[in-house]
Structure 1
Amino acid sequence: MRRPGEKFIRNLPLQRKLMLIIMGCCTATLFVSSLFFVAREAKVLYRNQQEYLVSLADMIGRNSAPALAFNDPKPALDTIRPVTEKGNILAVYILNKDGRLFVRYQAAGQVHTALPLEGLPDWASQDQVAEAVRQVTSEAYTSSFLSGYASVVRPIRLDGEQIGTVVIHANASGFLNSLRWNVLVALGFMAVTFLVFCLFSARLQLMISAPLLGLLAAMKEISASKNFALRVTKPCDDEIGLLYDGFNEMLHEIEERDQILRQRQAHLQQLAHYDPLTRLPNRTLFYDRLAQALFHAERAREAVAVIFIDLDHFKDINDTLGHRTGDLLLIEVAGRLGTVVRSCDTVARLGGDEFTIFCQNVANEENAALVAQKLVALFATPFRLGSSEIRVTASVGVTLFPHHGKTVDELLMNADIAMYHAKGCGKNVFALFDKRMNEHASERVTLLADLRQAVELGQFVLHYQPKVDLLTGKVTSVESLVRWMHPRLGMLAPDKFIRLAEESGMIAELTAWVLRTACLQAKAWQDANLAPVRVAVNLSPFHFQRQDVKQSVCAVLEATGLDPTLLEIEITESALMQNDEYTCRVLRELREMGITISVDDFGTGYSSLSYLHRFPINTLKIDRTFILNMMKSSEDQAIVTAIIAMAKSLKMQIVAEGVESVDQLEALKDQGCHEIQGFLVSRPVNAERVARFFTDEDHLQLQNSAAQPLAEGTAQHLVNGKA
């Protein structure tokens, strides 16, 4: 435990500590040296005084020895009387051999009652005299300082034999005066030296403390200003100078680390509030800004438009052209969006291909719709990315504060609903939010929840649509088409739930079920000794992303025992182009197993025709949109002709989808198309009804003999007739 004085000293300022140390050391040194000097002088003075008294006592002893020998006090008294007349001698005593007072004489006017032998009578006993002599002997030194007299006791000898003792008492005032003078000189010397030391100490401590205090002041200034670029000037080259060098080096390191920290903080701030790709505000910053805008709009009673933008078919661009191209496209889109809004508005990227905008002080829905029209029009001009030119459209959803919501989450949710409504209306349009859209969105959420249980509950069924050879009229294969027997909504076509399955990740499980069920059905037809007809299954691009296509197909073929030559795999152009190295390899391995490979809906994707020769493809299926319009549009007619010519040059089979009339049939036959599929032959039907097409009959004979184009009812009649 520290003592209070120690704590007090520790808390003193540095200047006072240095002064205290220096002055303390100096004072102690002066005191010790002065004490030594005074003590030495006192010893010298005392020795001189004693030597004088000893010599005087010896002289008295020699002169009074005969008187003692003859026991004659008178000569002894005559001997000492002249001595006592000296000014400093107080008294002289001579003792005989027996230790009794022989003679004594005291100087006139020098009475000193404190003398030990003075109070003894002449007839004092031997013991009393001996005790007094012992007292004089023991107090001989201290009496000079304390009692003011000096004493000496010397034996008187005659022929080597002690015959008496002489005792002299002298006044010590001279000794004391000299001692006082020496003390005063020492004190004066100490005082002068102390003053000199004070001045020297002040200068010395200033030399030590001033640089340290300057360093302390610099530290306080840097701490207050946070300016680590400041430096202190080195005052000297000693240890304090080294301390300054170390301090400057420390400041340099702190400055560098502070700069790095500031850069990292700025980077983290950027990452926390801005999208790293487009440099637009991210979701967090957008929410914050929109919340503030809604607060001010509510106080000013103004409207705020919240706009949700989603690029159409952006996933296909990523899959076919690569993510790098997709990123460049997003950067260009962000740049264009910024040209439409005002400086007070905010454009943000929520993630993926989703962008959001809020516009402040919007007068009404018409103004919001005008902004949405400008946004849609931005995508009319192609995007040039290096040497490539890409066309992309966007679906836009618009909601208005406070009419369609009063919170950030509510407005964004309604804008998202409006955007999905725009996509449902054909994409590349905008839609203003309407409360009825909520009902559709709610139904979509319910449908998604039902979809998760549909496979487990066995609610999916497969229908099959035959493909017919144009030369023989015979069925070559049937395409498996999934239907959902919803307990509440009835039979649902794929366009009602496939997109939901893709968004929810259910597509892999659903595709696996379709592949397994179709292979089991094909194996049942094979075991029933029906004509060998391939069953076609459309594989989701998700399987190619997971890179488990071959494993899934081989596992199903092994489990069902189906001959691989009776299986046909249909893939879309987007699945064909994504990860093309893996896709090319796995398709070649499947084809080597005997499986037929077809490209479904050809002509609607982003792939180049020049890529096709790299892939082991057996069949191209022309998309139904070209077939439906080929009799009305010369452009679609030209596309169909070009696809057929190109496929023939690559030695691929051609299947035309969506054939519904005899005119389309004849035109396709004239152009050399190999197979057709559509309502002209049959709608998708269940396995039992489609099995009736597995005959050697010419299923196109009736159509070829008809005089007028077949209407939908006629096609249905043909289906029913074959069922």
Structure 2
Amino acid sequence: MSRPGEHFIRNLPLQRKLMLIIMLCCTATLLLASLFFVAREAKVLYQAQQEDLVSMAEVIGENSASAVVFNDPKSAEDTVRPLAAKSSILAAYILNKNGRLLARYLAPGAARERLPLELLAEGAAPADIIRAVQQVQNDAYRSSFFSGYASVVKAIYLDGEQVGTVVLHASASGFLHNLGWTLLAALLFMGAAFVAAYLFSARLQQMVSSPLLELLATMKEVSASKNFSLRVQKPSSDEIGLLYDGFNEMLCEIEERNQILRQRQAHLQQLAHYDPLTRLPNRTLFYDRLSQALSLAGRAREAVAVIFIDLDHFKDINDTLGHRIGDLLLIEVASRLSTVVRSCDTVARLGGDEFTVFCQNIATPENAALVAQKLVALFVDTFRLGESEIHVTASIGVTLFPNDGKTVDELLMNADIAMYHAKGAGKNVFALFEKRMNEHASERVTLLTDLRQAVSQGEFVLHYQPKVDVLTGKVTSVEALVRWMHPRLGLLGPDRFIRLAEESGLIAELTEWVMATACRQAKSWQEDGHPPVRVAVNLSPFHFQRQDVKEAILAVLGATELDPALFEIEITEGALMQNDEYTCRVLGELREMGITVSVDDFGTGYSSLSYLHRFPINTLKIDRTFILNMMKSTEDQAIVTAIIAMAKSLNMQIVAEGVETVEQLEALKDQGCHEIQGFLISRPVNAEKVARFFTDEDRLRQDRRTGIPAGDAA
């Protein structure tokens, strides 16, 4: 625990602290030097005084030695009488060796009370006199300073033997006067030295403290302004100069780190608010800007259009051409979107292939539709990405503030709903949000919730639609088609829930249930005595993405003990193109097991000979849209003819879907189609009704009276 004085000194300003230290050191040094000088001078003066008295005592002793030996007081008195001429002598005494006083001299005006021998009574005993002489001898040094007189006691010798003693008392005024002048000179010297030391120390402390105070001022300025580019001018090359160098180096390092920190903060700010791929604002910044825009629009009573943009089939591009091409496409899309909007509007990427735009001060819904049309038009031209040319479209949803919603979340949700409505309308279009869309979206969410429980609760059923040989009219196989017996909505077709199942990931569980149920049914038909009939099941591309197609099929066939030759899988062109190396290998392995591989809805996808001849495909199924229009459209008829010719050249079976009229049947037969499937034969029916077709009867035999095939009449 520090003392109060030490605490006070520690808290003094540096200037005063340096001044105090220097002055204390100087004062102590001067004081010690002056004391040494005065003491030495006092010693010299004292010795000179004592030497005079000793010389005088020796003379008196030599002159009075005979008188002392012969005990002659008169002669002794004659010896000391000349001392009266010495004004400095106060008293003189001659004593024999027995202590008897033989002669005595006392100067006029001498202070007898201060002289020890004068204090003795008249006729004092020799012993008292001897004691008084010893007292004089003991106090000889001290008496010069404190009693005002100097004393000396000198023995009288005759022939080498002490015969008496001489005692002299002299005034010390001369000694004290000279000593006083010496003290005065010392004090004057100390004063002059103190003033000189003060002036020198003031300059010295200024030399030390000024650079430090300047350094302190710069530190405060740096601290207040955060300007780390400031530097201090080095005043000298001593330790303070080294301190300045260290301070400048520290500022330099702090400045460099501060610049790095600012760069990193700017980078983090960029990452926090901008998409790293397209450099567009991200979801966070879009939310913030849109919130401000809605606030301003609310006060100004203006409308704001929020537009949601989703690329069509972007996942297929990523899967077939790679993520690098997908990223380049997103960058190019972002660049095109930015050319349409005004400077007051914002284009952002929410993630994946989803983009958003909000446009301020939209007067009418027609203006918003005009912006959406411009956005759709951006995708007319192909995208040139390196050596690749890609044509991609977008589905766009538009919603308006404040009519459709008043919060950011509500507007984005409505724009998303409108975008999904655009996708449902055929893609590559835009849709303005309407209230009924929200109801449809709510129904979609409810349907998805019900779908998650449908498999476990046994709400799905299978219907079967036969395929018939065009030449013999006999059933070659049946296609298993799933239906959902919804407890509230009734029987739902696959168009109501298959897409939901794919989006939610439930398609795998549903497909496995369809395969297992269809295979068990095929096995059951055999056990009931029906001839073996091949059953076909549609496989979702999801299985090829998970790369578990073969495992799933083998598990079902093993559990149902169905002959692989009685099992057929139908896949879309898109599924063939996803991870085509894996797909080609797996389909080859399945075909070697005896499983039939069919391409469903052929003609609506890539339709490229480059992949058809590489994949182990047994059958092509011509999409129903071409069959329905082939009697009306020469283009569709030409497409059907080309597909049949191409399949024949590749030794594939051809199945025409959606055949509804005899005219379509005859045209397909003339062109060499192998099998047909459609309402002309039968609608999808349950397992019991479809079993009626498993006979050798010609299902294409015409009733001459009605012109309707016999099978359908049954």
Q: Structure 1 length as normaliser, TM-score?
A: 0.91
* 1:193-342 equivalences in 2 (<5 Å): 193-342=193-342
Q: Does 1:509 align with 2:505?
A: no
Q: Which residue does 2:349 correspond to in 1? A: 349
Q: Which residue does 2:446 correspond to in 1? A: 446
Per-residue CA distance 1:208-256 (angstroms, 9 max, x = gap): 3343333333333333333333433434333333333333333332222
* 1:514-533 equivalences in 2 (<5 Å): 514-528=514-528, 530-533=530-533
**Pairwise CA distance, 1:484:** 0.9
Q: Which residue does 1:179 correspond to in 2? A: 179
Q: Would you say the 8 A contact 2:474–2:699 is kept in 1?
A: yes
**Pairwise CA distance, 1:423:** 2.5
Q: Which residue does 1:429 correspond to in 2? A: 429
Q: Which moved more, 1:233-242 or 1:453-462?
A: 233-242
**Pairwise CA distance, 1:406:** 1.8
Change (3 A) 1:96 1:344: same
Per-residue CA distance 1:42-100 (angstroms, 9 max, x = gap): 22332333333333333333333333333333333332333354233322234443445
* Structure 1: unaligned runs, 5 residues or longer: none
Give distance in 1, aligned partners of 2:353 and 2:579: 20
Q: Which moved more, 1:392-401 or 1:294-303?
A: 392-401
Aligned-partner residue type, residue 316 of structure 2: D
Q: Would you say the 8 A contact 2:34–2:186 is kept in 1?
A: yes
**Pairwise CA distance, 1:488:** 0.3
Q: Would you say the 8 A contact 2:539–2:569 is kept in 1?
A: yes
Change (3 A) 1:627 1:111: same
Q: Which residue does 2:556 correspond to in 1? A: 556
Q: SS state of the match for residue 114, structure 2?
A: coil
Q: SS state of the match for residue 614, structure 1?
A: coil
**Pairwise CA distance, 1:263:** 1.6
* 1:437-516 equivalences in 2 (<5 Å): 437-516=437-516
Give distance in 1, aligned partners of 2:519 and 2:279: 50
Alignment size in residue pairs: 714
Q: Would you say the 8 A contact 1:84–1:91 is kept in 2?
A: no
Q: Which moved more, 1:287-296 or 1:318-327?
A: 318-327
Give distance in 2, aligned partners of 1:574 and 1:142: 129
Give distance in 2, aligned partners of 1:308 and 1:666: 48
- Where do 4+ consecutive residues of structure 1 move more than 6 Å? 705-708
Give distance in 1, aligned partners of 2:84 and 2:614: 149
Q: Would you say the 8 A contact 2:627–2:657 is kept in 1?
A: yes
Q: Which moved more, 1:252-261 or 1:99-108?
A: 99-108
**Pairwise CA distance, 1:459:** 0.8
Aligned-partner residue type, residue 328 of structure 2: L
Change (3 A) 1:465 1:128: farther
Q: Which moved more, 1:656-665 or 1:353-362?
A: 656-665
Q: Which moved more, 1:280-289 or 1:589-598?
A: 589-598
Q: SS state of the match for residue 117, structure 2?
A: coil
Q: Does 1:48 align with 2:48?
A: yes
**Pairwise CA distance, 1:331:** 2.2
Give distance in 2, aligned partners of 1:539 and 1:26: 105
Change (3 A) 1:338 1:174: same
Aligned-partner residue type, residue 306 of structure 1: V
Give distance in 1, aligned partners of 2:87 and 2:580: 136
Give distance in 1, aligned partners of 2:349 and 2:404: 22
Per-residue CA distance 1:356-401 (angstroms, 9 max, x = gap): 2222222222322332233233333333333333333322222222
Per-residue CA distance 1:623-660 (angstroms, 9 max, x = gap): 22223223333333333333333334444333332222
Q: SS state of the match for residue 347, structure 1?
A: strand
Q: Would you say the 8 A contact 2:468–2:675 is kept in 1?
A: yes
Q: Would you say the 8 A contact 1:464–1:690 is kept in 2?
A: yes
**Pairwise CA distance, 1:490:** 0.5
Q: Would you say the 8 A contact 1:274–1:282 is kept in 2?
A: yes
**Pairwise CA distance, 1:286:** 1.5
Change (3 A) 1:306 1:44: same
Q: Which residue does 2:362 correspond to in 1? A: 362
Give distance in 1, aligned partners of 2:641 and 2:100: 168
Give distance in 2, aligned partners of 1:616 and 1:84: 159
* 1:382-421 equivalences in 2 (<5 Å): 382-421=382-421
Q: Which residue does 2:676 correspond to in 1? A: 676
Give distance in 2, aligned partners of 1:429 and 1:112: 141
Per-residue CA distance 1:594-634 (angstroms, 9 max, x = gap): 33333322333347441333333333333222232233333
Change (3 A) 1:360 1:47: same
Aligned-partner residue type, residue 636 of structure 1: D
Q: Would you say the 8 A contact 1:152–1:169 is kept in 2?
A: yes
Give distance in 2, aligned partners of 1:13 and 1:250: 25
Q: Which residue does 2:667 correspond to in 1? A: 667
Give distance in 2, aligned partners of 1:466 and 1:395: 37
Change (3 A) 1:595 1:123: farther
Q: Does 1:635 align with 2:628?
A: no
Q: Which residue does 1:145 correspond to in 2? A: 145
Aligned-partner residue type, residue 175 of structure 1: F
Q: Which residue does 2:69 correspond to in 1? A: 69
Change (3 A) 1:562 1:56: farther
**Pairwise CA distance, 1:487:** 0.2
Aligned-partner residue type, residue 642 of structure 1: A
Give distance in 2, aligned partners of 1:391 and 1:210: 76
Give distance in 1, aligned partners of 2:375 and 2:294: 22
Aligned-partner residue type, residue 601 of structure 1: D
Q: Would you say the 8 A contact 2:373–2:430 is kept in 1?
A: yes
Q: SS state of the match for residue 267, structure 1?
A: helix
Give distance in 2, aligned partners of 1:113 and 1:211: 68
Give distance in 1, aligned partners of 2:472 and 2:95: 175
Q: Structure 2 length as normaliser, TM-score?
A: 0.92
Q: Would you say the 8 A contact 2:41–2:182 is kept in 1?
A: yes
Give distance in 2, aligned partners of 1:92 and 1:649: 166
**Pairwise CA distance, 1:527:** 4.4
Q: SS state of the match for residue 379, structure 1?
A: coil
Change (3 A) 1:11 1:455: same
Q: Does 1:120 align with 2:120?
A: yes
Q: SS state of the match for residue 55, structure 2?
A: helix
Q: Would you say the 8 A contact 2:80–2:103 is kept in 1?
A: no
Give distance in 2, aligned partners of 1:464 and 1:336: 48
Per-residue CA distance 1:565-584 (angstroms, 9 max, x = gap): 33323332333222333333
Give distance in 2, aligned partners of 1:31 and 1:706: 150
Change (3 A) 1:289 1:126: farther
Q: SS state of the match for residue 461, structure 2?
A: strand
Give distance in 1, aligned partners of 2:608 and 2:58: 145
Give distance in 1, aligned partners of 2:152 and 2:648: 153
Q: Which residue does 1:613 correspond to in 2? A: 613
Q: Would you say the 8 A contact 1:332–1:383 is kept in 2?
A: yes
Q: Would you say the 8 A contact 2:536–2:570 is kept in 1?
A: yes
Q: SS state of the match for residue 600, structure 1?
A: strand
Give distance in 2, aligned partners of 1:393 and 1:416: 17
| Identity within the alignment, % | 78
Q: Which moved more, 1:345-354 or 1:491-500?
A: 345-354
Give distance in 2, aligned partners of 1:94 and 1:696: 182
Give distance in 1, aligned partners of 2:650 and 2:94: 160
Q: Would you say the 8 A contact 1:101–1:122 is kept in 2?
A: no
**Pairwise CA distance, 1:297:** 1.6
Aligned-partner residue type, residue 480 of structure 2: S
Q: Would you say the 8 A contact 1:116–1:135 is kept in 2?
A: yes
Q: Which residue does 2:104 correspond to in 1? A: 104
Q: Which residue does 2:711 correspond to in 1? A: 718
Q: SS state of the match for residue 253, structure 2?
A: helix
Q: Would you say the 8 A contact 2:112–2:119 is kept in 1?
A: no
Give distance in 2, aligned partners of 1:657 and 1:231: 86
Q: SS state of the match for residue 380, structure 1?
A: coil
Give distance in 1, aligned partners of 2:547 and 2:49: 122
Q: Does 1:588 align with 2:581?
A: no
Q: Would you say the 8 A contact 1:599–1:617 is kept in 2?
A: yes
